[in-house]
Amino acid sequence: MRDIYLFLRRMAGFLGLLFGGKKAWEARKELKKLDTAQWSRRIISDGILLNEIPSPTEDEHLRMKFISKRLEEFGISNVFSDEWGNVLALFPAFGSRQDFMLLVAEVGDCDYSPLENSVQITRELASGQNLGERSIGAASLLVFAEFAQATGFHLEKNLMVLFTRSSSVDEREDAFRHFLGSWADRISCAILVHGTKLGVLETKPMGTYRLSINVKSQERELLSPNAGPSAASIMGNIASRLGDITWDGPQKAMVNIARMEAGDGFGHWATQGEMDIEIISDDDKTLESIKHSVVETIESASEGLKYKIESLIRFRRSVGDPRRNAPLIDTLRTALEKVQIKTEEGLVSDKISLLNEKGIPAVCVGMTKATGNQNRDEIELGLIDSGFRQLLLVIEGGSRALEPVKEGQQ
Amino acid sequence: MKQNKGDSTILTRSYHSSAYSDKKRLVELKKSKNLTISLAFPTLNEESTIAKEILVLKTELMDRFPLLDEIAVIDSGSTDKTREIAKQFGASVFTSSEILKNYDSHRGKGENLWKSLYVLKGDIIVWIDADISNINPKFLYGLVGPLLENDDVGYVKAYYKRPIRSSTGLTPSGGGRVTEILIRPLFSLFYPELSQLVQPLSGEYAGRRSILEQLPFSVGYGVEVGHLIDLFHQFGPGIIAQVDMDERIHRNQTIEALSRMSYGVLATFLSRLEKYQEISLVKEMGKFHIALEADGNNLKAVHSPISLIERPPMRTIPEYNLKFPVPVMEEDLKRTSSPDL
């Protein structure tokens, strides 16, 4: 299928060069004076519509269907989808460049409920569960695609607009990994469009391991006089042991108990339990060594008991590579200065880490800021205008900032 | 006279909104038929939902796909920020009492709808309630689709599942209680053809100006049922279509509020039966809705005045005729027609 993509891209690029070159060049020159208000309204409106579509569904097909239909309505012909639910639109560049700039947004929401996801708007704010975190980013990228199609916003670098499942519905990032498996060698840089995080420069590396622990005894009942401890006691013991350990010198690494389920009733026995453990560190080697220690600690907890303890790695995210991302971070910093948004340092996002693992420099661009009301995911409407302007500046700047990845650089 | 155009079974003119989701096609149809479309929201203290309704519909169906020519809010005197917010998000805002000042002012949704005919410019008028939590462009394109596609359709009503929003969350069934307990039995008794409407009282409907201007409007709760009976008698059920919008989330209403609503709807229903000589009332109807309320250990009767005022067809208002003159062909037709037509 990738060959078909490339053939279509070249054809469209050639036609674009013939018929649209002048218009595109003028659009770029006009970028600074552009009235972005109408595009901001479209972002909010599409954000609302996306947020109210049920999710998760298989391969996130309901929300992806909305996105595909939108792209079709915008008149974008190079739209493709794959069996993992990814939806991809290609915007060919002028000239003979073969590399792509990837623009990616996440789609999907594991906490959806019709009532909580219903969006409310006041004069300055919009609120609705996961509106900023999950829907405004995808809506922004959608509206960027509409903008690019309507204005002829083509660059020297080919653009690839990708909508992929969010880590909230695809914990292992299977859909995104699958996409990268096919395309990584063609991508020279990437921008992750996020609903909130406006002004955040993701310069702090952070890697994660997530482990699932299953505790089970052959004996189901605890009533016999010689019965051992309950699963809850064993898991409590594991948590206690892990809590007593200092993992690294600077004490930046953390081991969290993310979930613990044990107890009698509701179809469970007191001798069964499950827990999830999250390991966080800013250094890949430390992350690995902590993971080994945690697994050993867990295994040793069952010594002398009639319990079987199994641990399973749910997923691993590497710490990211802020050094590789530095040119894009600089472009983002400059764009934020131009739209007069203050910057702050933040942790590297999961998808940025994955891109970095493949040797691709990447940056996360936020569209607005969340206010203090975390329960309703409340966002500031007025900032979306600055967010969109900044996105255009980063895309334009990023397309000039980097050369394609070469063999051996990864 | 009934102009029973086409099939008289409303169920055969029941569509799903998805049939009209090709907005480009609708815009082309509108252009080719040289029509304009106006949307009005009747409002009273709707600051929590009005911004979203205007934003979504304006963005999608005015800016992206120019299906709509105008969005207006006809306000009954909100004391919250409804009017300011509506203006901020791009709607034209009218205060009901300021429209056609020579004709008094009454409080009620029907009053706002009647007056909207005077201030709106479109050939097709769409009314959407301002309290929908899950507004979607389909509410609008679903209503205008059958009117653009089929010249015989003159009036389109929305229907949907109605989970109701309350403090405990969403109740999956419910809503439409007045319809099932009061209206459907009455329609079954007197107008079986109209009982094929899934939600005859739904607050989302659209019609051609040329038809709406010939209908009287109940000022209060009876406006929808009054329309349906008048349409039935004046144009025949063949002019009515209905469209499935899937789901509409809205505020729950108390039983007391539904009781007052039923009073208004029933009063309009009975007055229409009498108007069309289908029953004869031998006694004047009560002027108040009477509810019982606990007063310590006793009960007390609470009398609420519910407006039963009727506005005449807008076409009979001279100011309206000046603003929207009768097309020449229509005038000629009237002169050559017999008086009972």
Nearest CA in chain A to B131: A120
- Strand partners of residue B207: B125, B155
Compute the nearest-CA separation of A143 from chain B (Å).
11
* Spatial CA neighbour of B65 closest among B73, B74, B56: B56
Through-space distance between the first and last CA atoms of chain B, rounded to whole angstroms: 6
Q: Do A42 and B23 touch (CB under 8 A)?
A: no
B154 with B140: CB under 8 angstroms? no
Give the pLDDT of residue A115: 85
Give the pLDDT of residue A18: 44
Tell me which chain A residues have a C-beta less than 8 angstroms from the C-beta of B52.
48, 119-121
What's the rounded Cα separation, in Å, for the pair A144 and A153? 9
With a cut of 90, say whether residue A277 has pLDDT above it.
yes
Tell me which chain A residues have a C-beta less than 8 angstroms from the C-beta of B27.
none
Mutation test of the interface with chain A: which of B52, B88, B139, choosing the one with the most A Cβ atoms within 10 A?
A: B52
B52, B64, B170: residue with CB nearest A48: B52
Compute the nearest-CA separation of B48 from chain A (Å).
7
Chain center to CA of A338: 26
Per-run averaged pLDDT (10 residues), chain B, 341 residues: 54 95 97 98 95 97 97 96 96 97 92 98 97 93 98 96 64 67 94 94 96 96 96 96 88 85 94 94 90 91 89 97 85 55 40
A394-407 tens-digit pLDDT: 998 888 766 555 44
Q: Do A115 and B56 touch (CB under 8 A)?
A: no
- Strand partners of residue B228: none
Other Cβ atoms within 10 Å of A216 Cβ, number: 17
Q: Do A42 and B249 touch (CB under 8 A)?
A: no
Give the pLDDT of residue B107: 87
What's the rounded Cα separation, in Å, for the pair B2 and B7? 13
What's the rounded Cα separation, in Å, for the pair B122 and B105? 23
Does residue A130 come out as left (phi exceeding 0), alpha (psi in the -120 to 50 range) or beta?
Answer: left
B105 with B111: CB under 8 angstroms? yes
Give the pLDDT of residue A348: 92
Compute the nearest-CA separation of B3 from chain A (Å).
39
Nearest CA in chain B to A43: B59
Tell me which chain B residues have a C-beta less than 8 angstroms from the C-beta of A119.
52
Q: Which of A58-72, A271-285, B32-46 has the lowest mean pLDDT?
A: A271-285
What's the rounded Cα separation, in Å, for the pair A132 and A366? 10
Mutation test of the interface with chain B: which of A39, A43, A115, A127, choosing the one with the most B Cβ atoms within 10 A?
A: A115
Instruction: Give every CB contact of residue A310 below 8 A, 6+ residues apart in sequence.
Output: A213, A214, A216
Q: Which residues of A touch B (CB under 8 A)?
A: 38, 41-42, 44-45, 48-49, 52, 73, 114-115, 118-123
A386 with A340: CB under 8 angstroms? yes
With a cut of 50, say whether residue A21 has pLDDT above it.
no
Q: Do B249 and A45 touch (CB under 8 A)?
A: no
Compute the nearest-CA separation of B128 from chain A (Å).
18
With a cut of 50, say whether residue A227 has pLDDT above it.
yes
Give the pLDDT of residue B341: 40
Burial pattern A281-298, b for ≥16 Cβ within 10 A else e, equals bbbbebbeebbeebbebb
Give the pLDDT of residue A34: 73
Taking domain A2-204+320-409, whether its CATH number is 3.40.630.10 is answered by: yes
Tell me which chain A residues have a C-beta less than 8 angstroms from the C-beta of B133.
118
Beta strand pairing call for B205-208 and B155-161: antiparallel
Percentage of residues in chain A with pLDDT exceeding 70? 86
A84 with A173: CB under 8 angstroms? no
Give the pLDDT of residue B4: 45
Tell me which chain B residues have a C-beta less than 8 angstroms from the C-beta of A44.
55, 59
Q: Do A42 and B64 touch (CB under 8 A)?
A: yes
DSSP letters along A161-178, please? EEEEE-TTT-TT-HHHHH
Give the pLDDT of residue A97: 76
Q: Is some CB atom of chain A closer than 8 A to the CB atom of B133? A: yes
Average pLDDT over residues A253-265: 85
Mutation test of the interface with chain B: which of A35, A45, A50, choosing the one with the most B Cβ atoms within 10 A?
A: A45
Nearest CA in chain B to A114: B170
Burial classification of residue A398, based on how many CB atoms lie within 10 Å of its CB (0-12 exposed, 13-18 middle, 19 or more buried): buried
Nearest CA in chain B to A75: B24
**Could you tell me which residue, B199 or A2, shows the higher pLDDT?**
B199
What's the rounded Cα separation, in Å, for the pair B114 and B214? 11
Q: Do A121 and B165 touch (CB under 8 A)?
A: no
CATH topology of domain A209-317: Alpha-Beta Plaits (3.30.70)
Tell me which chain B residues have a C-beta less than 8 angstroms from the C-beta of A123.
51, 81, 84-85, 88
Taking CA atoms, A142 is separated from A159, A209, A364, in Å, by: 13, 32, 16
Phi first, then psi, for residue A370 (nearest 5°) are -85, 145
Beta strand pairing call for A125-127 and A378-380: antiparallel
What's the rounded Cα separation, in Å, for the pair B49 and B62? 19
- Strand partners of residue B161: B247
Give the pLDDT of residue A270: 80
Q: Is some CB atom of chain A closer than 8 A to the CB atom of B163? A: yes
A391 with A193: CB under 8 angstroms? yes
Where in chain A is CATH 3.30.70.360?
209-317
A38, A45, A120: residue with CB nearest B48: A120
What's the rounded Cα separation, in Å, for the pair B218 and A70? 41
Q: Do B59 and A73 touch (CB under 8 A)?
A: no
B261 with B307: CB under 8 angstroms? no
Strand runs (DSSP E) across A111-186, as ranges?
Answer: 120-121, 125-127, 158-165
A44, A48, A114: residue with CB nearest B249: A114
A202 with A363: CB under 8 angstroms? yes
Average pLDDT over residues A257-265: 84
Strand order through the sheet with A120-121: A120-121, A125-127, A378-380
| Cis bond before residue A225 (omega within 30° of 0) | no
What's the rounded Cα separation, in Å, for the pair A90 and A161? 6
Q: Is some CB atom of chain A closer than 8 A to the CB atom of B134? A: yes
A168-194 tens-digit pLDDT: 889 889 999 999 999 999 999 999 999
Confidence of residue A68 (pLDDT cuts 50, 70, 90): very high
Q: Do B81 and A123 touch (CB under 8 A)?
A: yes
Confidence of residue A167 (pLDDT cuts 50, 70, 90): confident
Tell me which chain B residues have a C-beta less than 8 angstroms from the C-beta of A121.
51-52, 55
Q: Which H helix or E strand runs over A307?
A: strand A307-317
Q: Do A121 and B163 touch (CB under 8 A)?
A: no
Give the pLDDT of residue A303: 79
Q: Is A125 helix (H, G, I), strand (E, B) or coil?
A: strand
Where in chain A is CATH 3.40.630.10?
2-204+320-409
Q: Mean of the per-residue pLDDT values for chain A?
A: 85
Give the pLDDT of residue A298: 87
Give the pLDDT of residue B249: 77
Compute the nearest-CA separation of B186 from chain A (Å).
34
Taking CA atoms, B258 is separated from B47, B177, B178, B182, in Å, by: 22, 8, 7, 11
